[in-house]
Amino acid sequence: MRAVFCSCVRPLFVLALAAGATAQEPSSPPVSEDVQRLEAELAALRQEFAARLGALEAQLAALQAPVAAPAPPPAEAPAPVAPTAPAPAPNYSAPAGSSKVFNPDMAVIGNFLGAAGKNDSPNAPPSLEMSEAEASFQAIVDPYARADFFLTFGPDEVGVEEGFITFPTAPGGLLLKVGKMRDAFGKVNAMHSHVLPWTDRPLVVDNLVGGEDGLADAGVSISRLIQNRFLFLEATGQVYQGNSAIFAAPERKDLAYVGHLRAYRDLAESSNLDFGGSFAYGHNGATDDATTRLWGADLTFRWRPLRRAIYRRFIARTELVWSRREGEADTANAFGWFGAAEYQFARRWFAGARYDRSERADDPSLTDEGGSLLLTWWPSEFSQIRGQFRRTDYADRPTANELLFQFLFSIGAHGAHPF
Amino acid sequence: MLAPLLLLAVNVVATTEDLASIAREVGGDKVKVDALARGYQDPHFVEAKPSFIFIMNKADLLVFVGRELEIGWLPPLVLQSRNPKIQPSAKGSLDASLNAKILEIPTGQITRAMGDVHPQGNPHYWLDPNNGRRIAQAIQAKLAELQPQDAAYFGERYADFDKRLAEGEKRWDAAMAPYKGTKIVTYHRSWPNFCERFGLEVMGYVEPRPGIPPSPSHTLELIAAMKSQGVKVLLVEPYFDLKTPNSIGRETGAEVLTMPPSVGGEKEITDYIKLFDYDVKLLGAALAKAAGN
């Protein structure tokens, strides 16, 4: 661009000089003086030309610049300083020079599972499997909202585990979410696989709440705090399309509904109690108007001494689920629950146990029962290795004794610690 | 008619007791201040308890340390607070680090192989009293913006705090002056601003890398280095296990000091100025003993 510009301008400039010289000839002083004067003029013109060309090039560069690199945002203005204050401090805020600053926080979490031992169940995991890679993208959308995407890549499917926008300050003190979400039914259903304290999901989740995929659907969620003196209370109401692992909507109008009430109370500085009640309703697709209703209760006790928070903690949790599923001919009422505990006994070590018992949603006469022992090691906040011995007494299959193990590893942005 | 106006107080929530103390200094009786993390707690690993959500729901101003110190727990609390006043970049959201002098801002490529590094610099900056002054300025300006009718009051409160802080600085500088250039070892990288201010040199850390627990090989190297360089004081934050520091102390003859980095870290540390009174006295005594040996 610059070379073309110069080669066009130069001949014009030479022509103009020649014309100027011709016009001055009639009243000319002696030739040598003329030549000297012309040389001086030429030198002056050269200088002026170079200056103008420089200015033009600078303008051209300025015009082209925004395409390549946006102007850096203005530095943060220092706070007003009081009269008695010392000299203003230099600004140490982080530099923000490129468009990358608006990229969302990204992270990828790998969940590798292994299993040994015999299990005839169709849900039994294979010997070695890259069970899931979850990519998360999270950022603030605008002054009113933020967005969270969790894409999962499994051995044979890719999907949006969650993808929703949150309006944290909707009118009326409401927290509004719109998108695809894991339903707020109990505690375990809302958890992603990598934050579970086990390598698997409890039997009651497999039998009654849709297993790994669980209740997750496209919909709208609103929740509100109920202010009072005694308890933290949060009520959540959700409306979904009605298609998930449990629900299947025959028609557009057949929406699914979820309600959740969470109560929480600090017992002391280092211990607290968290309890919830949940309800879910939707069509199940068995017939045009067959529905499934789920009721859930959950209770979590946590102990974590503040001075030794990174070395010791204890969590006990239980979740109970009642399912009422209408079929073609009759209605099945099934119940299941689990109870589990984890204890952190060193900075990097956790031990845990779980008891499972659940009837089957479509045939409550079949009851599966199981128990697990777990040991988890955390090399750092960003990876963990877990072993789980699991014994399952199936109602209609031989008892399975399995050794499950898991490698979890995460790269990218530092996410929030699960609570 | 006037009474309710006089009772108007700015509800301030500070993530740590240090920031809460400075907010109380500047805000006086025109503010009501709550702190989330306790001073004896590791501020990186605070739990996002729902009881905090209630406190934040009513806040007019949220003051936080920033530099990703609270990244594991503050963002979900802010999101769930349903409080438009304290959302990111709202008028009532104050990153206390923006005017402070920040050390150890990494340059070049950083990876997690370096441990849990803070890409925006070391977040323990409140441990230089001059940064306390800068935090107080920022809070004063913010309070004046939120409650302009009390701006003069906040200005007076700031001036008074500034004066008492300056008197404190004279005391602390004088007490630490004899030990300029002394080498010490700390557990975590909590003390760069403190050591820079008082002329101490951090020779090494018990953690092989930030946030990574001690390893035997690193501990042996550290013991050897401490012996060869004659390091006689090892600082441990109150929330770390003393087993490794104590064994290092036995091997090297260094004194292991549990030194609180925050207000509330010990019962008698009830405000920001007392934090330095306590720490300087504790460390000064240990350094004097080491120098006498």
Domain residue ranges in chain A: 176-412
Q: What's the pLDDT band for B170 if we cut at 50, 70, 90?
A: very high
Mapped onto helix, strand or coil, the DSSP state of residue A155 is coil
CATH number at residue B97: 3.40.50.1980
Rounded Cα gap, residues A213 and A77, in angstroms: 48
Domain final position from B146, B170, B194: B170
Structure ipTM: 0.91
Q: What's the pLDDT band for A70 if we cut at 50, 70, 90?
A: very low
Query: In which residue are the tokens 């599966």 written?
Result: A368
Instruction: Return the ∠ at Cα B78 (arms to B73 and B81), rounded to 5°.
Output: 125
pLDDT digits (tens, 9 = 90+) for B118-127: 889 999 999 9
* pLDDT of B2 strictly over 60: no
Same-domain check for residues B27 and B144: yes
- Give the model's pLDDT for residue A98: 61
B141 touches chain A (CB under 8 A): yes
Residue B58: closest C-alpha in chain A: A227
Interface contact flag, A417 B40, Cβ < 8 Å? no
Amino acid symbol at B173: D
* pLDDT of B33 strictly over 90: yes
Q: At B161, give phi and psi (nearest 5°).
A: -65, -45
Same-domain check for residues B85 and B184: no
| C-alpha pair distances (Å), A166 with each of A48, A174, A183, B118, B138 | 60, 11, 15, 27, 30
* pLDDT of A206 strictly over 90: yes
Give strand ranges (E) for A93-215. Answer: 105-118, 128-142, 145-153, 158-170, 174-182
Distance from the Cα of B133 to chain A's closest Cα (Å) equals 8
Indicate the range of A120-124, A144-148, A234-238, B68-72 predicted with least confidence: A120-124
pTM comes to 0.83
- Give the model's pLDDT for residue A94: 54
Nearest by CB: A307 against B87, B134, B238:
B238
Amino acid symbol at B86: I
- Give the model's pLDDT for residue B116: 84
Nearest by CB: A92 against B90, B101, B162:
B101
Radius of gyration of chain A (CA): 35
Cβ atoms of B20 and B271 within 8 Å: the answer is: no
Cβ atoms of B158 and B134 within 8 Å: the answer is: no
Question: Which residues have C-beta within 8 Å of that of residue B7, sequence separation ≥ 6?
Answer: none
The string of DSSP letters for A197-238 reads SSSS--HHHHHHS-TTT-SEEEEEEEEEE---SS-EEEEEEE
Same-domain check for residues B265 and B122: no
Same-domain check for residues B116 and B206: no
Which helix (DSSP H) or strand (DSSP E) does residue B185 occupy? strand B183-186
Interface contact flag, A416 B48, Cβ < 8 Å? yes
Q: At A326, give phi and psi (nearest 5°).
A: -85, 130
Distance from the Cα of A79 to chain B's closest Cα (Å) equals 6
Q: Which domain does B276 fall in, by range? A: 177-292
Same-domain check for residues B164 and B222: no
Q: What's the pLDDT band for A419 if we cut at 50, 70, 90?
A: confident
Distance of CA A300 to the CA centre of its chain: 24
* pLDDT of B95 strictly over 80: yes
Interface contact flag, A414 B72, Cβ < 8 Å? yes
β-strands A367-380, A383-393 pairing: antiparallel
* pLDDT of A40 strictly over 50: yes
Indicate the range of A383-397, B98-112, B163-177 predicted with least confidence: B98-112
Nearest by CB: A92 against B48, B102, B155:
B102
Cβ atoms of B15 and B123 within 8 Å: the answer is: no
Residues of chain B with pLDDT > 70, as a percent, come to 97
* pLDDT of B117 strictly over 90: no
Nearest by CB: A232 against B40, B45, B50:
B50
Query: In which residue are the tokens 């209630």 written?
Result: B54
Same-domain check for residues B244 and B201: yes
Interface contact flag, B212 A80, Cβ < 8 Å? no
Same-domain check for residues B149 and B279: no
Nearest by CB: A272 against B49, B72, B84:
B49
- Restricting to B residues 174-193, those with a Cβ less than 8 Å away from any Cβ of A are none
Sign of the CA dihedral with A379 first, then A382, A383, and A386 last: positive
Question: Which residues have C-beta within 8 Å of that of residue B108, sequence separation ≥ 6?
Answer: none
pLDDT digits (tens, 9 = 90+) for B223-276: 999 999 999 999 999 999 999 999 999 999 999 999 999 999 999 999 999 999
Domain final position from B108, B141, B170: B170
Q: Mean pLDDT across the stretch A265-290?
A: 96
Same-domain check for residues B100 and B115: yes
Cβ atoms of B231 and B184 within 8 Å: the answer is: yes
Same-domain check for residues B101 and B189: no
Distance from the Cα of A336 to chain B's closest Cα (Å) equals 28
Same-domain check for residues B30 and B52: yes
Domain final position from B150, B170, B190: B170
B80 touches chain A (CB under 8 A): yes
Cβ atoms of B207 and B237 within 8 Å: the answer is: no
Range among A16-25, A65-74, B19-28 with highest mean pLDDT value: B19-28
Amino acid symbol at B62: L
Rounded Cα gap, residues A251 and A243, in angstroms: 10
Residue B242: closest C-alpha in chain A: A308
Query: A262-280 in b/e burial notation, b at 16+ Cβ within 10 A?
Result: bbbeeeeebebebbbebeb
Alpha helices in chain B (DSSP H): 2-7, 17-27, 50-57, 74-80, 129-146, 151-176, 192-198, 216-229, 243-252, 272-292
B87 touches chain A (CB under 8 A): yes
Same-domain check for residues B140 and B182: no
Indicate the range of A41-45, A146-150, A384-388, B271-275 predicted with least confidence: A41-45
- Give the model's pLDDT for residue A38: 65
- Count the neighbouring beta carbons within 10 Å of the beta carbon of residue A96: 13
Query: A188-216 in b/e burial notation, b at 16+ Cβ within 10 A?
Result: bbbbbbbebbbbbbbbbbbbbbbeebbbb
Q: Which of A375, A364, A373, A392 is nearest to A123 (CA)?
A: A392
**Within 13 A of A329's CA, how many CA atoms are on the CB side?**
2
Rounded Cα gap, residues A107 and B146, in angstroms: 37
The top-level CATH class assigned to A176-412 is mainly beta
Count the domains in chain B. Answer: 2
Cβ atoms of A248 and A242 within 8 Å: the answer is: yes
Q: Which residues of B touch A382 (CB under 8 A)?
A: 112
pLDDT digits (tens, 9 = 90+) for A194-203: 999 999 999 9
Rounded Cα gap, residues B239 and B263, in angstroms: 14
Rounded Cα gap, residues A263 and A226, in angstroms: 10
